[in-house]
Amino acid sequence: MKPAKSEPLNGPHKELFADGTVSGEGRVKDGKRYEQWTWYHKNGELKAVGKYANGELDGYWEWWRESGKPLQTGSFDGGQQVGSWKRYYINGQLCDEGDYDGGNKVGVWRIYNKNGELKQTKVFKVQK
Condensed to tens digits (0 to 9), the pLDDT of residues 66-95 reads 999 999 999 999 999 999 999 999 999 999
CA-closest candidate to residue 29, choices 57, 55, 61, 58: 55
Q: pTM of the prediction?
A: 0.88
- Give the number of residues written for the chain: 128
The CATH label, of 3.40.190.10, 3.40.120.10, 3.90.930.1, 3.40.228.10, for the domain at 11-124 is: 3.90.930.1
What does the pLDDT read at residue 84? 98
Kindly state the average pLDDT of the residues 106-111.
Answer: 98
What does the pLDDT read at residue 40? 98
* Distance (Å, whole) CA 70 – CA 75: 15
pLDDT for residue 3 is more than 70: no
Please check whether residue 95 is in contact with residue 112, taking contact to mean a CB–CB distance below 8 angstroms. Answer: yes
Helices (H) and strands (E) in the chain, counts: 0, 10
Strand order of the sheet with strand 56-64? 11-16, 22-29, 32-40, 46-53, 56-64, 70-77, 80-88, 94-101, 104-112, 118-124
What does the pLDDT read at residue 81? 98
Predicted confidence band of residue 2 (pLDDT cuts 50, 70, 90): very low
DSSP state of 117: -
Predicted confidence band of residue 6 (pLDDT cuts 50, 70, 90): low
What does the pLDDT read at residue 126? 81
